[in-house]
Amino acid sequence: MANNEKLKLTSVKVEKETFEEFKIEAIRKKFNMQKLVNRCMDLFVSDDEFAKKIMNHTNLVTKHNTL
């Protein structure tokens, strides 16, 4: 199975200001969005404490109430 067959292409809307900050930090730390999302999804399904922390993280400042 080719590596691309193991990947799912998705599209999500993210909070603009937070994404701009992420891009700067990602460059500094040589990290990217794909690594972040894959690692977070893995931890979310395998680590109850991480999942609770993510579910309870509500101090996002957004214009939309969908995050």
Instruction: List pLDDT tens digits, range 6-65.
Output: 999 999 999 999 999 999 999 999 999 999 999 999 999 999 999 999 999 988 766 555
**Which residue type, as a one-letter code, is found at position 22?**
F
User: Domain spans of the chain?
Assistant: 15-56
Q: Which residues contact 22 (CB under 8 A, 6 or more apart)?
A: 33, 36
Compute, in degrees rounded to 10, the torsion defined by CA atoms 66, 22, 41, 31: 160
The token pair that represents 3 in the structure block: 């590596």
Global pTM value: 0.77
Helix (H) or strand (E) holding 27: helix 16-29
Burial letters 11-33, b for 16+ CB under 10 A, else e:
eeeebeeeeeebeeeeeeeeeee
